[in-house]
Amino acid sequence: MIEKLKARAFVALGKPDGRLGIWLLGHRQYVGGDWGALGDLQFEFMLKMGLKPGHVLLDIGCGALRGGVKFIDYLDEGNYLGLEREKQLLKVGIKQELGRERMRRKSPQFVISDRFEFDKFSRRPDFAIAQSLFTHLAESDILLCLEKLRRFMNPGGRFYATFFIDESHVNQSPRSHSHRSFRFPRATVEDFGVKSGWNPRYIGDWGHPRRQAMVEYVAE
Ligand SMILES: C[S@@+](CC[C@H](N)C(=O)[O-])C[C@H]1O[C@@H](n2cnc3c(N)ncnc32)[C@H](O)[C@@H]1O
């Protein structure tokens, strides 16, 4: 009953970002639900792309660690880097999903930032993933992320990002929002990469339940 009231309040209040939205929806719903399936999907996808325990992985917009818990389990100690805007979301994820014992044993690094401050991490990644991040970002924030990541990642590094592809839609919204969808034509998402120094490769369908498409950006 209380959960239903909270969900209604979330809509009535215009789907608020941040602390209020997290409190109203709960951490699993706040990042979109489908907790188990989407955690597995991103983990298995990265294994197919060649992720090994000895690699360093950067998870951009890691949320409450839906994929993070699986990556942290798999990677060697210290090899998971998570960047997230919402401190509260990550705090709940560490406490309720990861747990103290794994936190101590695997020593993941976390940075709270909404300006893609990757240089706060002490290591550079071999791989990066942004699962369901660019689907909520305006063009200027996507480009900022790609430019800063390109400078941070060593040549040969690979970045996997999901998008909603829509050929008929030109998205004019100037402001990112965690509960609005941003859609771009395929050529535009490839062009984002070219503009910021990456070599883009469109992968498309990777089994996402809401048809988010995958794009690979390779650091040349
Ligand atoms: C839909 S959720 C996906 C979370 C996670 N990747 C997953 O699969 O569970 C998007 C996440 O990106 C975060 N986010 C949005 N804008 C961000 C920014 N500029 N910098 C870092 N994180 C951001 C949100 O707070 C949210 O946790």
CATH code of the domain containing 117: 3.40.50.150
Ligand 1 mutation target, pool 41, 65, 84, 144, most atoms within 8 A of CB:
84
Extended beta strands in 56-210, E state = 57-60, 80-84, 109-112, 127-130, 158-165, 183-184, 198-205
Residue 190 in any domain: the answer is yes
Q: Tell me the per-residue pLDDT of 199-215, one tens digit each, with 9 for 90 and over.
A: 999 999 999 999 999 99
Containing domain of residue 146, as a range?
33-219
Predicted TM-score of the model (pTM): 0.96
Domain presence at residue 21:
no
Q: Is residue 8 part of a domain?
A: no
Residue 195: inside a domain: yes
Across the range 58-66, mean pLDDT stands at: 98
Residue 192 within any structural domain of the chain:
yes
Asked whether the beta carbons of 87 and 112 are under 8 A apart, the reply is yes
Q: Provide CB contacts within 8 A for 47, sequence distance 6+.
A: none
Average pLDDT (66-82) is: 98
Which pLDDT score is estimated for 37? 97
Residue pointed to by tokens 């197919």: 48
The Cα 188–Cα 202 span in angstroms is 11
On whether the CB atoms of residues 118 and 57 are closer than 8 A, the answer is no
* Count: domains in the chain: 1
- What is the whole-number distance in angstroms between the Cα of residue 197 and the centre of ligand 1? 23
Domain for residue 19, yes or no? no
pLDDT of residue 169: 66
What confidence tens digit (pLDDT) does each residue in 80-95 have?
999 999 999 999 999 9
CA triplet 183, 187, 188: central angle to 5 degrees? Answer: 50
pLDDT in tens, 117-170: 999 999 999 999 999 999 999 999 999 999 999 999 999 999 999 999 999 866
Cβ-contact 138, 174 below 8 angstroms: yes
Would 3 be classed as within a structural domain? no
Q: Does the residue 184 lie in any domain?
A: yes
Q: Which of 25, 27, 133 to mutate to test the pocket of ligand 1 (most atoms within 8 A of CB)?
A: 133
